[in-house]
Amino acid sequence: MNKEYNAYNGILLFDKPAGITSHDVVLLQIRRIINQRRVGHTGTLDKRATGLIVICLGKATKMSRFITDLEKVYEAEIYLGRKSKTYDSEGVFVDQPPIKIPDLTEREFKDILSEFTGIIKQKVPVYSAVRVGGQHLYKYARKGIDVEPPEREVEIKQIEFLDYKKPFLTIKVSCSKGTYVRAIANDLGNRLGCGGYLSHLRRLSVGNLTLEEALTFDHIRTYHQNNVLIKKLIPYHKVLNFGALKVTESFEKYVLSGKEVKRKYIIEWEGNFKPGDKIFLKNSQGEVLAVGQAEVSSEEIDNNDSKLFSYLRVLN
């Protein structure tokens, strides 16, 4: 690495093309383009999927765990009338004759889709990278070894009907982290009795970050070469809607050692928060120094001499 090593600190939005893994995006492409080691992402997309990946650069890599928790929105195309062992186009049973798809109206589709919303238990697909007994599930599956996949509690906040051109059903899914949209496709096919698999997936947003703002490899390369990529980075406070405590300039040097934050060190505070909420610790210029948990509500700070903040992650 040359003098540009770890020059960027911030959030970058990337539009992943089909055919490469999220790991390849970070390790083999973006790191190489910007010549920087500290690069990470916040939630994988399957190799065949496209769309938004949130990239963290430099100090921002320490923010990835908080961004991962944000709601995701996808546009999904489901092929009805066939089954797949992987729940996507890779594992389609090609020798299986097509299964008759029931004739349904848009209203009937919407009613059935609503059955899949809410907080649900979702079984992890057997062809996934989730580990059971120290081994990836997909490795068991490829060897023909039966392993009971774990269940996860996820929240499907909304499934919106977009289009149906037989056999393709297009939907929009808003969901929590850890949701497998291809599992929804498989479960929907089973519910209809005709089978179904995910034929295309595109991530549209993560929290308030949208695909419209995302860059391609060519964009990143050009902006980096022209020394303007830094202008495309998104500050933390626009990604995470946290309240904040601003500390005095003299206290700033003690953040790395995790010194207890009390009222006498606070210049001002931003937003409304209650005990247990995640909040930022900022310096007097508004730069984020750490992420932590509020120990008191924003309404109780002024005349409070107790501990105000518990550190979760210091940005250094």
Q: Tokens 């995302």 — which residue?
A: 214
CA distance 100 to 103: 9
Active site residue 46: yes
CA distance 196 to 93: 11
21: which residues sit within 8 A by CB, 6+ positions away? Answer: 44, 47
| Catalytic residue chosen out of the listed positions 46, 88, 277, 302 | 46
HSE on the CB side for 253, CA within 13 Å?
2
Active site residues: 46
